[in-house]
Chains A and B, each alone.
Chain A
Amino acid sequence: MGRKLADIFNECYERLLQGESVESCLKRYPKEATKLEPLLKVASTLHTKAASIQARPEFKWQTGIRLEGAFLYNQRQKLAAVKASISLRRSWALALTIILAALIAGAGTAAASTQALPDEPLYPVKLATEQVRLSLAFSDIAKTELHARFAENRAWEIAQMVPQGESTNIVMVTERLDAHLEQAEECALHTPTVKAPEEKALAPTPVPAPAPLVTSATAPQSAKAAKLRTFLEYSAARNIATLEQALEQAPEEAKPGIRLAIEMTKKRYEKILKRIEERGGLPSQGEPQAEEENTFPSLPQLPEGNFREEGRIPHIPLWFDHKP
């Protein structure tokens, strides 16, 4: 069978399906009628025979009912899934919003609270933020430094309150200042010990070379202790300078309290530095050691410029956050 006849046969079969008769189709193609007629009759017969294959009406109806039920079930499932998805997304969105709001508000509030004074609403936030920072500090060295920093904050607050004559709050803040330094001393007691190298008793010493004070294993600890000591010296200098500045501006009735605060602060720093030294921390380079107990060592020179410029506490990076 040539391709042309195949196409004609196919076209005629389509016409049969549309209701046209075999005879009508043959009249359209008289030249191919002889070959086309038996094929169309076979196709028509097959179609008629196949048409006798019918499903039972009750089966078709039952299947329709079952499909209807399945369709409704699917729709409900989709709807439930969509609802669950929306609910989940809403929950996540709500949770994220709350977290973001808390973070933004918390960070903003905490930042704003750094300048708060005891009689201001944000002061509790300031103290709470300090407590959080302390709780996040794991080493005693870090805790010692933080307590010293917070003691500086209290000194700054005293200096700010003096012109306002907040005598009650000054006493309260002085107690807090002392408490921080007391805790700094306690933490300094637990800083890691840096041992000096042991001398070999029978070792020949024909030419005594200058031995290192610490072994390579203890060097990092020693470096940390030395840094802490340096920081505490500067902290003491800043703290006392602030309090002395406050003393100059303070009214007469407030001066005894501030003098007491200065004395207490000097003694506390002295003890803290002594603890650090006992644990192996080296005194800062060129710094004379305290010769007598309860004598405050001479303070290092403060950095140039007013570190309380514009009433702001200068930002001092936490050195233990930047390990060498």
Chain B
Amino acid sequence: MADISGVADEVLVREAIGGNQSAFAQLYDKHFDKIYRYVYLKVGIRVEAEDLTQEVFLKALGAISSYKWRQVPFSSWLFRIAHNEVIDYFRKQKKKEKTHFNNNVYDTKEDPVMVAESSFEKGELMAALQKLSPAQREVISLRFSSELSIAEVAKTLGKREGTVKALQDSATVALRKILSKKKNG
């Protein structure tokens, strides 16, 4: 099997479609954390986020042969799957998205040590995101937590790059105010 470490997504996807298992493993390693973060920020429950993340990659594996590079970058394609999985999740749960962004809805199954170490950080972030508009929240999640480029976010959300930049700026200004209030209050 050829060494494909450090190569671009385009090459890895082509290799994976051709049956190179290592290529798909590389894609998985490269995008797993970003997808998990994105899903977690949406659902707020670790176990659910894990299940949904796993489902995203299984669906990506099943559909990778139909993926067309020219239309959208692989990362954007992957985040679209994740986005749809989250939508389906909330539809199935018959719960509104905002319910899950409530600080009080933290997963009771969280590891106590992990909760002690990072719940404040995560809780503060999710509470701040909750106060943004859905479009702003989506852009911030993809841009700041999942580290997608403006172009990738634009492709994922089906918006223009200028619109994404504007949403990013307005969301950052709003978050600054939110976080300043918290700090002062």
Task: Report whether A64 and B28 are in contact in the complex, using a CB–CB cutoff of 8 Å.
Answer: yes
Within the assembled complex, what's the spacing in Å between the Cα atoms of A7 and B162?
9
Residues of A within 8 A of B36 (CB): 53-55
B residues 14-61 near A (Cβ < 8 Å) are 19, 21, 24-25, 28-29, 32-33, 36-37, 40-41, 46, 49-50, 53-54, 57-58, 61
Q: By the criterion of a CB under 8 Å from any partner CB, how many residues of chain B are at the interface?
A: 47
Task: Report whether A74 and B140 are in contact in the complex, using a CB–CB cutoff of 8 Å.
Answer: no
Given A6-B166, A7-B165, A50-B37: A55 touches B53 (CB 8 Å cut-off)? yes
Contact flags B52-85 to A (C-beta < 8 A → 1, else 0): 0110011001100000000000000000000000
B131 interface contact, C-beta 8 A: no
Interface window among A40-48, A96-104, A151-159, A274-282: A40-48
**Which residue from chain A places its CB closest to the CB of B149 in the assembled complex?**
A14
Task: Report whether B125 and A1 are in contact in the complex, using a CB–CB cutoff of 8 Å.
Answer: no
Within the assembled complex, what's the spacing in Å between the Cα atoms of A64 and B29?
9
B145 interface contact, C-beta 8 A: yes
Q: How far is the CB of A64 from chain B (nearest CB, A)?
A: 6
Residues of B within 8 A of A64 (CB): 25, 28-29
Task: Report whether B21 and A42 are in contact in the complex, using a CB–CB cutoff of 8 Å.
Answer: no
**Which residue from chain B places its CB closest to the CB of A6 in the assembled complex?**
B169
Residues of A within 8 A of B143 (CB): 13
Q: By the criterion of a CB under 8 Å from any partner CB, how many residues of chain A are at the interface?
A: 39
Contact flags A47-79 to B (C-beta < 8 A → 1, else 0): 111111111100110011011101110110010
For the A-B complex, the count of residue pairs with Cβ-Cβ distances under 8 Å equals 108
Within the assembled complex, what's the spacing in Å between the Cα atoms of A42 and B174?
10
Residues of A within 8 A of B62 (CB): 70, 74
Within the assembled complex, what's the spacing in Å between the Cα atoms of A6 and B168?
8
Partner of B57, one of A48, A53, A63: A63
Most buried by B among A7, A53, A64: A53
A39 interface contact, C-beta 8 A: yes
B170 interface contact, C-beta 8 A: yes
A10 interface contact, C-beta 8 A: yes
